[in-house]
Structure 1
Amino acid sequence: MFEGATTEQALAVLAAAHRVVQQVLDPADPRSGRGDGVVVAAGRLLFTPEVFVDPKALPRIEPQDLGKAIGANRDLAEHAAALIACAGLADGVIEPTRLRLVVEYAHAMHVSDGWVRDVLQVARGHLAWAMADMTRRNASNFPGFANPDDTLAPMMPYETQTDDDKRLAERFLVLEGLPKNTYGHQFWAHFRKHGFDFPGQPNAFTGVWAVPHDGLHVLSGYSTSIQGELLVSAFTGGMHRRDALRAQILPTIFEWHVGQEVNGIGKQQGALDPVKFLISWQRGEAATTDVLSPQWDFFDVVARDLEELRWTYGITPLMPAHAAAGTEINVDATADPYAN
């Protein structure tokens, strides 16, 4: 993620990230301290060679000094600003002063992506506006989901189940007959295990969202727990890259770690584990195929061996220690835990 960064640049980025985290820990909040957890994990995981730091020993760095340290390296600047933003929310608290400092660091590095404006709006107290913008940007990442006027297509469009809907559902139901090692069969098993309706069935989410999203659960190995949803979103942002923070990463941090409603699914707290989060983001960036590309076709690869497809796509193995924790989302009435 920070390829080519010097040790001095790494320390400057980590010092800035430390400055925007919560300095006085709250023993009653298990999220407290995770900001510096991101700082420590980032030094160890994202830089080559590794940088081991004691956050409290890092020097105070002003935005203009960080800008000078980063220089003209745009990729480094964008990654640095993104890391600082995530560190500023990792303690689970929306603190306007720290979020304004996140924006100052971004501006000092000449990073003006849309997420910077959203963070500034949150700092100004315009949380609902920022959440709505993130929701629209998330939809626009999925080809065919967002309309040209920036409105959303129906999330569940198959209630009447037309003949076209039935034919669409049948394309997914026949995946059961593929060999168990194939991507298509494991996609089928993922839906059956959790009791999800397939696109085309009455209670299903729209296929233009569900196929790439749940397909990435299968490809990445992340579960459907709340932490798994945060991790698959970080993976997706790293893989797709375009508008990663605004569309994928920040919305899930706000909803499932900070505890702010974003899209009606339901707010939760505490899902961000620093090491798991950074590894999921890094795994996504290492992927060589973007399944959110309009050119990617799910049915073109359903017969491929899942492990071979992961290798082809550059998806590194998920170590057990880095897998998502927590109870998975299931539709209890229709879930089949024995599907495989």
Structure 2
Amino acid sequence: MKLVVPPTEIALYQLRVLKTVAVADGKLDDLEYQMLMSMQTYIFKTNVLIDGLKLITPQELSSKIISREFCKQLIHYCILISIIGARVTRNKTRVVIEFAEALKINDCAVQTLKHLANNRLALVRFNVFRHGFIGPKVMDTLRNEGIGGMIPTLKYLMSKGDRKTAARYQKLEFYPEGSLGKELYQHLRKHGFNLPGEEGGTPEIFLVHDCVHILAEYHTSMSEEAVISAFQAGFLDKDPFWGLLFTLLQFHLGIKVLTASFTSRNEVEPESLFKALERGTHVKVNLSKNWNPWLVFERQVEDLRREYNIPPRT
């Protein structure tokens, strides 16, 4: 997905709003400052002094002519910066909602922030699941393969294996060196993950994530999991907000969005987050949608990186 860069005048208003949200508790902390600087670099393409940005009221903002697209984008960024401090506060939530009301934005993202502020975590998980990485993948599987396509995942959730599926993936061990299939096999074995179909193995529906680890050269530490989630948000063909929100909840606030996954706190570094997001926007293929790795398992990883336009990691 190509990031929509607002005109400089609009970007400056957005930065003022984001700063206003960030200081709602009294001051700008280090992570909030880093996030503003990172958004300048990778999203807004501006270079202004954060200290020199004036705060702005919802009333003043509503008097400006800003397109619906940028209004929605702004509120989504406000939600993200309101929780980058690794906690949800009443003041920041209130300010975000005031700006959302002034711009007449009351979408699922705003509702999710309200659920988060009121500790209604089941509703938060539901919204992030259906809008983020996994929900659309589930729908694609059901659409293309029917309920039968979900059987291996259901068996995983019931801690049962599937011999036929396991045998299929075990054959990847004998694929050519440097191929995606061989690299995936080695990646899963190296990190102690069972193959799809093996008891307790990775569900096939999550396998794209492991392929992205290989293609984009991200490791499996908690901080790297946070970065790869941002990278994935970048190549989606929709608003990356839900991917970024998942990242902050799962790896920064320690809120488990997916039951079959690990959580951590304070793993998100804004510079790395937005750098990975921007890198992901260069990828020509939405690997989370209708991408079948079996069609390319025999191909060399380096060739796929070039074909998909995955920039080298810097």
TMscore range, shorter length = 0.7 to 0.9
Gaps of 5+ in 1: 27-31, 320-340
Which residue number corresponds to residue 282 of structure 2? Answer: 286
Alignment of 1:1-340 (within 5 A): 3-22=4-23, 24=26, 32-48=29-45, 51-67=46-62, 69=64, 71-72=66-67, 74=69, 76-138=70-132, 139-143=134-138, 154=154, 156-157=156-157, 159-161=159-161, 165-209=162-206, 211-242=207-238, 244-246=240-242, 248-264=243-259, 265-294=261-290, 296-319=291-314
CA deviations on 1:184-222 (whole Å, 9 max, x unpaired) are: 22111211110111111111132112x112112122222
- 1:111 is displaced (CA, Å) by 4.3
Which residue number corresponds to residue 322 of structure 1? Answer: none
Return the letter of the residue paired with 1:276: S
Return the letter of the residue paired with 2:81: A
Return the letter of the residue paired with 1:251: F
Q: TM-score, normalised by structure 2?
A: 0.84
* Structure that is richer in helix per residue: 2
Question: 3-state DSSP class of the match of 2:137?
Answer: coil
- 1:143/1:292 contact within 8 Å kept: no
Question: 3-state DSSP class of the match of 2:257?
Answer: coil
Give me the whole-angstrom Cα distance separating, in 2, the residues matched to 1:113 and 1:182: 43
Aligned residues: 303
- 1:126 is displaced (CA, Å) by 2.9
Give me the whole-angstrom Cα distance separating, in 2, the residues matched to 1:237 and 1:105: 25
Return the letter of the residue paired with 1:142: K
Give me the whole-angstrom Cα distance separating, in 1, the residues matched to 2:173 and 2:135: 31
Give me the whole-angstrom Cα distance separating, in 2, the residues matched to 1:290 and 1:284: 10
Question: 3-state DSSP class of the match of 1:260?
Answer: coil
Q: TM-score, normalised by structure 1?
A: 0.78
CA deviations on 1:144-182 (whole Å, 9 max, x unpaired) are: 58879xx99637257443xxx323222222222223222
- Same amino acid, percent of matched pairs: 23
- 1:109 is displaced (CA, Å) by 4.3
Give me the whole-angstrom Cα distance separating, in 1, the residues matched to 2:308 and 2:106: 30
